[in-house]
Amino acid sequence: MPLYHYKARDKEGWDVEGKREGKDKYNLAHALRAEGMTPLFILEVGGADRKKTLNDYIPKFLKRISLEEKLNFTRNTAVMIGAGVSLAKALEVMARQTTNEKFKIIILAIEEAIKKGNNFSDALGEHPEVFQKFYQEMARAGEKSGKLEESLKLVALQLKKDYTIRRKVRGAMVYPAIVIIAMIGIGILMMIYVVPTLVSTFKELNVELPLSTKFIIFISASILQSGLIFLFVVVLLGYFGYRWGRSQSGKEKIDWIFTNLPVIKGINQKFNAARTCRTLSSLISSGVNILEAISITKGVLQNHFYQNILEDARLKIQRGDTISRAFLGSENLYPPLVGEMVAIGEETGELSGMLLRLASFYENEVNQATKDLSTIIEPLLMIVIGIVVGFFAVSMISPMYNLVGAF
């Protein structure tokens, strides 16, 4: 049998680590739980019959839990609960089905917490990096109302809408990204193979070179003579760019770009409007307090400008004002329709339903906007490619014309 390296927590809260043989990870996890221990991780380290799979060669930092995996987990768990399966049994089945080892360990930990008498929402709260505050509060609302199945279905719907809308936005950017990468690759090949040939010709003819030609020759020489250094500088710039993008200052600058850049600004408005409305609608319809719902929705949004609007809305509600006032005063970020419809929803007592209609409307708007984006980007890319190619052609051919003009 394969040998496994495991780490578990005993009844007294001490971490126990060791190696043990087992039929598979799942059976070993059950054996550890039977001994009163909670498995933290189980990794296979040996075994004559072990065959490596593609998953073994993937770096650990790439083995993240995707939105699609959380969606499948939520939807299937809701279906099993609706069919009368106990929550612990449903989690056991989901742990067996998932192929993501990290997710499997988390599901088993949640199952163990349920068996010990903990609430599902509290067990989810032990893994905030996987299950956000929105997920936890929806589960808590379902537990309190006795409608956990309906709450999980609402979460699954929210995750599905998020997954769909993100995929469409990213899909619209795939084509330009491929074109830009291809253009950079072709440019590097020309710097390595084409430019040196022309440079030797220029030297033989002793031609006076314009500034643009000298610039291209400098780039070509840098790649040829100091290729590793050039690559290192590019990687270093990429690394610092990534770190800057993750910093608070970088995030704020990126948020500003998304909220002010033409074309992207409109999509960003509709995307955040759809996400805000659907999240608020799901939370309010599940019985979550309006102040708590706004705080949770604020955490779901990524752009700090939109987070500030929701924080302002929360403060206004605490002072006895209406939520629509915050949206009506931020028409440069949220479309004017959001504030108007929220105001109507508050007046009629149908705020949750109105938010749901707004979410569906703006999700459709994002779908159409992403299709239009592809139409807009194609001619823009052609213009950019034309400028780059034209600059290169003029820079490398103009010395020849200068030479002809001299005669």
Q: In what order do the strands lie in the sheet with 3-9?
A: 15-21, 3-9, 38-46
Mean pLDDT of 80-87: 89
Mean pLDDT of 87-96: 89
pTM, 2 dp: 0.65
Helices 264-285/290-300 angle, 10° precision: 140
- pLDDT of 47 > 50? The answer is no
- pLDDT of 123 > 70? The answer is yes
Mean pLDDT of 110-130: 87
User: Residue 9: its pLDDT value, please?
Assistant: 77
User: Residue 48: its pLDDT value, please?
Assistant: 41
- Using pLDDT thresholds of 50, 70 and 90, give the confidence band for residue 263: confident
- Using pLDDT thresholds of 50, 70 and 90, give the confidence band for residue 61: very low
- Using pLDDT thresholds of 50, 70 and 90, give the confidence band for residue 1: low
- Using pLDDT thresholds of 50, 70 and 90, give the confidence band for residue 45: low
Query: Which position has the token pair 């593609």?
Result: 54
Q: How would DSSP label each residue in 102-149?
A: HHHHHHHHHHHHHHTT--HHHHHHT-TTTS-HHHHHHHHHHHHHT-HH
Whole-number Å distance between alpha carbons of 113 and 94: 15
The H-or-E segment that residue 264 falls in is helix 264-285
User: Residue 39: its pLDDT value, please?
Assistant: 77
Q: What is the pLDDT of residues 334-384, one digit of tens each?
A: 888 888 888 898 888 888 899 989 988 988 888 888 777 777 777 888 888
User: Residue 405: its pLDDT value, please?
Assistant: 56
* Mean predicted lDDT score pLDDT of the chain: 81
Q: Are the CB atoms for 166 and 272 separated by under 8 Å? A: no
Share of the chain above pLDDT 70, in %: 93
User: Residue 335: its pLDDT value, please?
Assistant: 86
Among 32, 38, 196, residue whose Cα is nearest residue 112: 38
Distances (CA, A) of 267 to 176, 273, 308, 326, 363: 17, 10, 19, 21, 10
Minimum mean pLDDT among 56-60, 141-145, 244-248, 267-271: which range?
56-60
Minimum mean pLDDT among 144-148, 151-155, 342-346: which range?
144-148
